[in-house]
Amino acid sequence: MVFSLKKTEIVKVLFKLSLIVFTIGFNGSFYAQSNERNQLSNSQKKDAVKLEFLISTISDIYVDRIEEAEKLIEEGLLLAKKINQKLPEATLIYYRGSIESNKSNYSEAIKYYNYSLKIYRKNLNKKNISFCLNSIGITYYDQGELSKAIGFFEESLLIDEELKDFRGVSACYVNIGNIYADQGKYEKAINYYEKAKKIKEEIKDYEGVVKVYTNIGGIYSEQGNYPKALEYLEKALVIVEKPNYKFSSNSLLSSLGTVYKKYGELDKALLYYKKGLKKGRKLKNRKVIAIYLNDIGSIYREQKENTLALSFFKEAIKINQEINNKQGLVASLCNIASIQIEFKKYEKALNNYKKALNISEESGYEIGLFQPYLGIAIVYKKQKKYLKSLYNALKSKRIAEKLNAIEEQKDSYKILSELYSKIEKYEEAYETHKEFKKLNDSIFNKKNIRKIIELEYDYKYKRELEFADYRELKLIKRVKLTSTELTVIQQNFLIGTIVFLLISMFLGYRIFSLKIRNVKSINENILIEQKLLRSQMTPHFMFNSLSVLQGIILKKEYKKAIVYLSKFSSLLRIILENSRYKTVVLAKELKAIESYIAVQNINLDYHSDYSSIIKKNIDITQVLIPPMILQPFVENAIEYAFEESDKSRKIEVVIDVIDKKLKCSIIDNGIGVDEGLKGNEKNMNSGKKSLSTKITAERLKILGKQFKMKTEIIVEDRKFKGEKGTIVTLVMPYRIL
């Protein structure tokens, strides 16, 4: 999500400079008139000085102390009319417009800005003309009127370039970049942001640099390039969290939350969103409040807490309707529609999506067209109106491709694959599914996971060093201040103390930095190994399953392919849902195994009979285990435990708790592990090996450290018990709800 430079920020940085020019000009014109009239009365002089003081005070308080500022504005307007001064009157009216804009009363704000602009144009006051144009542009932008807004920004830019006002030029670059970003013209947007960043760095406008980094990060996030997005957002966060940084960081919090949400780190995203909402409520900025209400609602929707999510969405849409924020309305309408789909209120959902579509088309908000089209496609699919659904899904795909938005393209290909399957266009279904898988893998790949973890730790490490440097400088400054007040003897004592402190600080700093580096290295290795191992397993399984599906389709066994695809999609949904979490309930893991065997039985000549035995002392709905632990061993049993002639194939999963250890046994009646080892050399020559079981064994070692529990894998041949087959027993880490 891209945020604009607010009117409050423009005025704080730029308008105070104008105030200096204005007061000099005001006094000059005022006293010039007094020469013509011989001499102003003492009363008039006092009114002029008081008016100047009022304007200066208002510029400092109009953001945080609104009611007090409004009273001073009324008092100032009476004085300006009394002494017949139009420029001060225009300035006071401008502040009134800024206050109304901060309250999201946009029509009132524009009315006041236009009044001030008329006076400034009449007096040829170019600096203030530029301020008004910029503020009017931002007000239209806040309402989603992009085509109107850009005209005001471009006119303001021409004036600032003529005046060589670099702050004004950089502000215009940012605002024009925001317009292009919302229109999906990302290359143009980044070009303007980079030009703005260069100027802001030269003039040391660090608040502006943070805004630029945040907006560029938002664009990369929209395009699905999350490591690049996080790189820019972390740069902004390093500046924001410096001890001497005093400006707001609402947009940065939202952007960080969005990146972590798209990567499945919902708790982390929610933390950033709640911080942003708290700041928005404190500032009484209704647009910001509505944005974070939508963001928080989206997290609860992901967590299947639909009633709670709906309450946040309804509050957001109420605010967006009150302030006529069209972009916010589009987001709110789509969010409410997504909950209505969950409640099977399809007509209401369709109506809300169509409203969102009309608003986006009317306002030129191109990026806002994607979600309504995709939502309409989903509703029609639910209603089994597949051709209508396909039409809208193709529309959403074209928009996503035009914007080069990977996440949106992935969502479009997913629904297209499902729709082509429904209308029996299996070749198109296969091709769109391949595109979906390719895009999904490009987002959730090992390199991206590693890059994000590296950026997180790099940011935290840099922040610790900067805080240490800041504390060190503060201490040295205090020591220098004290030393000037001491006698020669005290100074000698102090020098010894300083030397001791510096040596201690140096040693402490070295120990601290080494400890940080060591902890960082250990945590990074554990997290990377865990995430990479989890990410390897699902693609491994999907590759095998899709290969089977491809074989069925090539054999032209279409009915069998439809059944296989249906069961496979159901299994895939369970696996993908489970793999997003660090732990899942045991019941879900067993359900995944049952679905997996059902899929495998479709393609095998001989079916495997599956059963699970749960001991009486276990409630499988209360036991939490790591996902995708048991499935690889069941897969191994199906693939390698039986000979081709075996017709009676049985696989049992037995769950028990013994001495507070969770033991899961996978039992088959196959050839047995000893017999299997005899054929091991042959298997090695043919290149066969169970990658997933090896990965799971490595996972168990890492999980044992994280859960602080002993883990173990025991493989036994059942012939020692006078039976046929193999028993694989896993001692697994677990938690109780």
605 band by pLDDT with thresholds 50, 70 and 90: low
Task: Give the CATH superfamily of 581-736.
Answer: Histidine kinase-like ATPase, C-terminal domain (3.30.565.10)
Gap between the Cα atoms of 194 and 174, Å rounded? 9
- Give me the mean pLDDT over the 562-578 stretch: 81
pLDDT, mean of residues 150-179: 90
**Which of 86, 28, 89 lies closest to 54, judged by CA?**
89
Q: Identify each DSSP E strand in 89-140 by its residue range.
A: none
pLDDT score recorded for residue 315:
92
What pLDDT score does 36 carry? 41
At residue 40 the predicted structure's pLDDT band, cuts being 50, 70 and 90, is very low
CA 142 to chain centre: 21
* E strand or H helix at 717: strand 712-717
At 637, which helix (H) or strand (E)? helix 631-640
The amino acid occupying position 103 is: K
Domain chopping of the chain, boundaries? 1-163, 446-534, 581-736
Number of other CB atoms surrounding residue 469 within 10 Å: 11
Per-residue confidence (pLDDT) for residue 537, from 0 to 100: 47
* pLDDT above 60 for 278: yes
pLDDT above 90: percentage of residues in the chain = 15
3-state helix, strand, coil in the chain (%, to 5): 75, 5, 20
pLDDT at 24: 40
**In terms of pLDDT, which residue wins out, 56 or 466?**
56
Return the structure tokens found at 9: 């920020």
pLDDT in tens, 664-679: 999 998 888 877 666 6
Considering 108-117, 558-567, 687-696, the range whose residues carry the highest mean pLDDT is 108-117
pLDDT, position 548: 77
Instruction: Look at the block and give the residue holding tokens 């039985």.
Output: 601
The three-class DSSP label of residue 667 is: strand
Q: What CA–CA distance (Å, rounded) separates 59 from 77?
A: 15
Average model confidence (pLDDT) across the chain:
79
Lowest mean pLDDT among 43-47, 175-179, 613-617: 43-47
pLDDT over 60 at 200, yes or no: yes
| pLDDT attached to residue 248 | 60
Task: Please give the pLDDT value at position 513.
Answer: 74
Other Cβ atoms closer than 10 A to 694: 11
Give the C-alpha separation, 426 to 418, whole Å.
10
Position 63 scores a pLDDT of: 75
Residue 627 falls in which region: left (phi positive, over 0), alpha (psi -120 to 50) or beta = beta
Which residues have a Cβ under 8 Å from the Cβ of 733 and sit 6 or more positions away?
A: 625, 626, 662, 700, 703, 704, 706, 707, 709, 711
| Position 228, amino acid | K
Q: Is 613 helix (H, G, I), strand (E, B) or coil?
A: strand
Stronger pLDDT, 50 or 4, i.e. the higher one: 50
* Mean pLDDT along residues 262-275: 83
Model confidence band, residue 20 (pLDDT cutoffs 50, 70, 90): very low
pLDDT in tens, 61-72: 887 788 888 888
Q: What is the pLDDT of residues 721-737, one digit of tens each?
A: 888 899 999 998 988 87
Residue 244 has a pLDDT of 65
CB 679 within 8 A of CB 671: no
Q: Per residue in 523-544, pLDDT tens?
A: 555 554 555 444 444 565 667 7
Spatial distance between the Cα atoms of 331 and 118, rounded to a whole number of angstroms: 36
Which two tokens mark 196? 């703005």
CA distances for 172 relative to 87, 118, 154, 209, 227, angstroms:
24, 21, 7, 14, 28
Q: What does the pLDDT average to over 402-418?
A: 85
Q: If 0-12 CB within 10 Å is exposed, 13-18 middle and 19+ buried, where does residue 492 land?
A: exposed
Cα–Cα distances in angstroms (integers) from residue 435 to residues 399, 440, 539, 550, 565, in the given order: 16, 8, 14, 15, 17
- At residue 247, the pLDDT reads 58
The domains spanning 1-163 and 581-736 adopt the same CATH topology: no
N-term to C-term CA, the chain: 37
* pLDDT of amino acid 498: 83
What angle is formed at CA 372 by the lines to CA 371 and CA 378, rounded to 5 degrees? 90
CA distance 120 to 87: 7
The model's confidence at residue 477, banded by pLDDT at 50, 70 and 90, is low
Q: What is the DSSP letter of 11?
A: I
CB-based contact 179:153 (threshold 8 Å): yes
Res 691: pLDDT = 57
Q: Which residue has the higher pLDDT, 567 or 371?
A: 371
Q: How far apart, in whole angstroms, are the C-alpha atoms of residue 397 and residue 611?
A: 43
Task: Give the relative orientation of helices 42-61 and 86-102 as an angle to the nearest 10 degrees.
Answer: 20
Range with top average pLDDT, 311-315, 444-448, 615-619: 311-315
Question: Tell me, what's the pLDDT at 145?
Answer: 83
More confident residue, 13 or 180: 180
Q: What is the structure's pLDDT at 23?
A: 43
- Categorize the per-residue pLDDT at 472 as very low, low, confident or very high, splitting at 50, 70 and 90: low
Nearest Cα neighbor of 71 from 85, 84, 86, 54 is 54
CA distance 238 to 488: 42
What is the CATH code of the structural domain delimited by 1-163?
A: 1.25.40.10
Cα(367)–Cα(639) distance, integer angstroms = 48
User: Angle at Cα 379 formed by Cα 377 and Cα 382, nearest 5°?
Assistant: 110
Say what the alpha-carbon torsion angle 326, 329, 333, 339 is, to the nearest 10 degrees. Answer: 150
CA dihedral 78, 79, 82, 86 (to 10 degrees): -90
Beta strands in 561-684 (DSSP E): 584-585, 608-614, 623-625, 649-658, 661-668
Percent of the chain with pLDDT over 70: 79
Pairwise pLDDT comparison (444 vs 513), residue with the higher score: 513
- Alpha helices (H) in 555-585, listed in sequence order: 558-579
CA distance linking residue 230 with residue 385, whole number of Å: 40
Per residue in 333-350, pLDDT tens? 999 999 999 899 999 999
Three-state DSSP at 731 gives strand
DSSP H stretches of helix in 263-369: 266-283, 286-302, 306-323, 326-342, 346-363
- DSSP code for 487: -
List the structure tokens of 200: 């802001």
Mean pLDDT along residues 691-707: 77
Secondary structure class of 562 (helix, strand, coil): helix
The CA distances from residue 433 to 420, 534, 588, 602, 735, in Å, are 10, 22, 26, 21, 37
> Minimal CA–CA distance to 587: which of 541, 627, 617, 637?
627
Residue 44 clears pLDDT 90, i.e. is over it: no
Tell me how far apart the alpha carbons of residues 275 and 251 are, in angstroms, rounded to a whole number.
Answer: 11
Query: Nearest CA to 553 among 727, 380, 429?
Result: 429
Out of 19-28, 288-297, 335-344, 633-642, least confident range: 19-28
Question: pLDDT tens digits, residue range 617-656?
Answer: 788 888 999 888 888 888 888 888 888 777 788 999 999 9
Alpha carbons 548 and 669: distance in angstroms, whole number: 25
- Tally the residues of the chain: 737
- Average pLDDT, stretch 703-727? 86
pLDDT at position 453:
45
CB 670 within 8 A of CB 726: yes
